[in-house]
Amino acid sequence: MNTFSETAWLCLAVPAALGGIVLYKLKKSPGQVGRKVVCLAGLWAGAYLLSLSLFWGWVLFPLSCFLMCAYLSGHEFLPVDQKAVLITGGDSGFGHALSKYLDELGFTVFVGVLNEKGPGAEELRRTCSKRVSVLQMDITNPQQIKDAHSKVVEKVQNRGLWAVVNNAGIIGLPADGELIPMTNYKQCMAVNFFGAVEVTKAFLPLLRKSKGRLVNISSMAGGVPMEKLAAYSSSKAALTMFSAVMRQELSKWGVKVSVIQPGGFKTSIAGTSEMWNKLEQDILDNLTPEVLEDYGQDYILEQRDYLKFISRCTNTDMSPVLLDIQHAVSAKSPFAFYSPGPMAYPMLCFVSFSPTGIFDYFSKKLYHFRGSMPKALTKQA
């Protein structure tokens, strides 16, 4: 039986100590569990290889230590000091929860809402501190963006604006891409992409002055093709690429850009039954007789059941998303991409590196909605 040399034991002790540091920091940043586990596994693998081959051990072990130290440095948080953050889409969902969360941490929060007299806005006024300001801000309305900008500038004055979180978004009614009306495609782009771009352009001078943060809330669906989400996914893919380009361009100004690509979380983005009824009617009103005959009205009206299917796969705990956004806003070295949610990161990697045929096969197994077939295909069967 072989015994470890003193050098091998020493190199096992060091990653063990670093592993303890990781586990300690894990309590403070649980949103980054997966990456920490990978780093820790890499350290142990390096130490194990050292016991087998001194040469490769000395090559891999310092590299593992360097990567771990570089990674841990990204978890140093800057002091809050009442830094000012603008969040869009604060009526409900991520934006609403994030506004409360950052307020609890001591940030000055400007919350843009679609309806400043709605229940979401009223709840924020009632439950949050005086550091939270609720602003009427439909991001498809340029004048409301300008008005919000003026109010932010007036309030922050010399303190400046530290971060903008572009969160506002819509999903519409999921349906086959051929069935989705052009008005819905345009609306998704108007809110999910063009609105975020316009807000970014309006507030970038303030971010450049503070050398702050731009955080865009995209979606796993912006990188992973999913049936029924052609309009939504296309708009989120555009936002993801916009974020990547802005990250490169704004680096010379000291502004750091991050994109959040959450997996399935339960929010109110899907809308209400009244909205679904309207979208269904829009679909029926805009189809040609030929397309309506091929798909059949029963198939079209069944599309809303996809929302129930999605709902069963979603997570009600938003804390992974909130923690990742906090990291993007507050960390000394934020990441360019975050993918909170149990399946988000694996699926984004899978679609990037696997052959298309293999991805499509497994994607249908995981996310395929088992509804009825279009009328024309039913006849053929």
Look at residue 30 in the predicted model and tell me its pLDDT: 43
By the 8 A CB rule, do 213 and 255 touch?
yes
pTM for the model: 0.81
Q: How far apart are CA 305 and CA 263, in angstroms?
A: 19
Low-confidence ranges of the chain (pLDDT < 50): 1, 22-34
Look at residue 261 in the predicted model and tell me its pLDDT: 95
Q: What is the pLDDT of residues 49-73, one digit of tens each?
A: 555 555 555 566 666 666 666 555 5
Tell which residue, 74, 89, 77, 92, has the closest CA to residue 216. Answer: 89
Out of 101, 232, 299, 338, the active site residue is: 232
Look at residue 156 in the predicted model and tell me its pLDDT: 93
232 is an active site residue = yes
Q: What is the pLDDT of residues 179-220, one digit of tens each?
A: 999 999 999 999 999 999 999 999 999 999 999 999 999 999
| Residues pairing with 113 in the sheet | 136
Neighbours of 155 (CB within 10 A): 13
Look at residue 29 in the predicted model and tell me its pLDDT: 44
By the 8 A CB rule, do 79 and 103 touch?
no
Look at residue 68 in the predicted model and tell me its pLDDT: 61
By the 8 A CB rule, do 6 and 24 touch?
no
Contacts of 355 (CB under 8 A, 6+ apart): none
- Which one-letter DSSP state was computed for residue 131? T
Q: What is the pLDDT of residues 237-280, one digit of tens each?
A: 999 999 999 999 999 999 999 999 998 777 766 666 677 788 88
Instruction: Calculate the alpha carbon distances from 152 to 20, 107, 163 in Å.
Output: 43, 14, 12
Q: How far apart are CA 344 and CA 218, in angstroms?
A: 12
Look at residue 24 in the predicted model and tell me its pLDDT: 46
Contacts of 111 (CB under 8 A, 6+ apart): 87, 90, 95, 99, 121, 124, 132, 133, 134, 135
Tell which residue, 352, 379, 94, 365, has the closest CA to residue 215. Answer: 94
